[in-house]
Amino acid sequence: MAVSVLPRNKVNKKYTWNAESVFKSPKTWEAEVNKVIEDIPSVKKYEGRLKEGPDTLLEALDAIEKLIVRAYRAFVYAGFAYAVDTTDQKAAGMRGKASGMFGQVFAATAFLNPELLGIGQAQLEEWMAQNPKLAVYSHNFENLFRKQEHVRSGEVEEILGMLADPLEGISTSSSMLVNADFKFAPAKDKRGKKVEVTQGNIHTSLMESPDRKVRQTAFESYMDKHLEFKNTLATNLSTSIKANVFNMRARRHDNSLAASLFDLNVPTDVFYNLIDTFKKNLPVWHRYFELRRKVLGLKEITYYDMWAPIAKKRINIPYEKAVDYICESLAPMGKEYTDTIRRGTLKDRWVDSAPNQGKQNGAFSWGAPGTFPFIMMSYTDEVNSMSTLAHELGHSMHSYLTWKNQPLVYADYSLFVAEVASNFHQAMMRGHLLKTIKDKNFLIALIQEAVGGNFFRYFFQMPTLARFELETHQRIERGESLTADSMIELMADLFTEGFGPKVKIDRPRVGMIWSTFSHLFMDYYVYAYATGISGAHALSGRILRGEPNAVEDYLGFLKSGSSDYPLNVLKKAGVDLTSPKPVEETFAVMESYIDRLEELLS
């Protein structure tokens, strides 16, 4: 009998996101989208007028921010509705309309930065002294003038803004293909019974199945479908990379890596430090892979064995119990912090947790000022799901506290710091549970999730994908072509080096792994997962060791938003990611987990 996944309309509302808190209905949403488009002239009227004085500038900034946040709220509503059910054609249409609206808003506001540059830094500083309400933009203006040489004329900026919508279509096309259109052949268990394969269960129940036949056939089914469409998927990703290179050249940067990191004032050394430290520590990973092979009793270990359970029995953790464990682990953060999490997860419906047909794979936290920090995931009552929930709640608390403490201009934070908050929750949870849980199977499952789940994704897959991303961008920059086969070969080579000689590599299927990570459509994002987990363990270590002011420093980081450069915000909290030290420290934490695992298994 096949394992079934519920259709969306059969899911208990209790475990769905609170869409009605954003808009009462799709009809209300549509009216707002139309109104946002109708209100675009209310910001366009300031074009060419910012030099009139501080009062006019303040009015314009206020009007632009209010329109953008309205557009963002509407975009979140449509995007989330699509993510929880990619087969819903109405939601897909809403997402398309919202994307078009968003592009129009950004094109309409493109005059802002060129005009501010035209006014000049000295004049703006004088105006900020005259009008204290304008002074809040001090860091924003400073950052703009730092980027001055890469800001183009108002006309060029408008065109670049207008390109945002059509270029977004590349990732949307891939998402529609793999999430809505792909139908996977069923897997089979060791008795030959069919097991349904979906985007919602492949990375959870199937890859974590104790039945190796299920893991193998599910992995082969999943990757073979991607291989069937390898040319389309490769063309989409190649086009996205070309768009990145186009933007790099349009803004006159030397290369795409420098262009991406320049926006956040992050030196390229941070990227290269990570890659070099990762390669140096590959023997730590090889030790873990060999331990996993022995525990599973396999002659050869493969990619699809990386998530196989090594605890003797499955640990069942219902959603509500997971919330309890997470809040207990975060008690050092204070009652207000944990009460907010309890209210969000159990009452205000921040989390769309139930698996359903058509649900996008993976998990994410998303929202905008004026909404809850929503979470999309497929919770499956296991340690891994509990960890994913803790992770996404880290993102959500980061958003919640930023929105609560920052003005609109700083009410966001960069991808570079985002993964610190999420991994911090997981590090705190493990620190607490490894001390308080006595059940040996639970501890084994917890460490397996830490090393084989979280660390494997953030500290192995993501650095490997970062190397892939760097090389593919450099090939486009050199004028070389990217084909499906060349991308598969590159990915297979990088994973072969990473896994080492004792892991059997199915080159075509493992080489196609890049097509399963939508993150690659976000320019140079994947490396930040590894720097993020490093920063998280450095900061959680301070709190777990009871260092003075560690909690206050961390809460200050969460409340900072984008009010300072990412590296500065983290330095104030107690971690310096310009140094390889946090990465080395995190590999040491991982080794300590492997030591503990060997002890428990013996």
- The neighbour count for residue 545, using CB atoms within 10 Å, is 9
pLDDT tens digits for 340-349?
A: 999 999 999 9
- The catalytic residues are 392
- The neighbour count for residue 39, using CB atoms within 10 Å, is 17
If you count DSSP H runs as helices and E runs as strands, how many of each does the chain have, helices first? 26, 7
pLDDT tens digits for 390-423?
A: 999 999 999 999 999 999 999 999 988 999 999 9
Q: Domain containing 145: what range?
A: 8-170
In a domain, 220, yes or no: no
DSSP string across 305-372: GTT---SSSPPP--HHHHHHHHHHHTGGG-HHHHHHHHHHHHTS--EE-S--TTPPSS-EEE--TTS-
29: domain CATH number is 1.20.140.70
In a domain, 2, yes or no: no
In a domain, 39, yes or no: yes
In SS3 terms, 33-93 reads as HHHHHHCCHHHHCCCCCHHHCHHHHHHHHHHHHHHHHHHHHHHHHHHHHHHHCCCCHHHHH
In a domain, 463, yes or no: no
**Residues pairing with 376 in the sheet:** 352, 364
In a domain, 128, yes or no: yes
Measure the CA–CA gap between 6 and 387, rounded to whole angstroms: 23
Residue 481 · residue 231 · CB < 8 Å: no
Tell me the three state secondary structure of residue 437: coil
Tell me the three state secondary structure of residue 136: helix
Total number of domains in the chain: 1
- All residue ranges of the chain with pLDDT < 50 are 1-3
In a domain, 442, yes or no: no
Residue 538 · residue 574 · CB < 8 Å: yes
In a domain, 427, yes or no: no
In a domain, 44, yes or no: yes
554's tokens: 């961390």
Helices (H), 180-318: 212-228, 230-250, 256-262, 268-280, 282-296
- Residue 4 has a pLDDT of 66
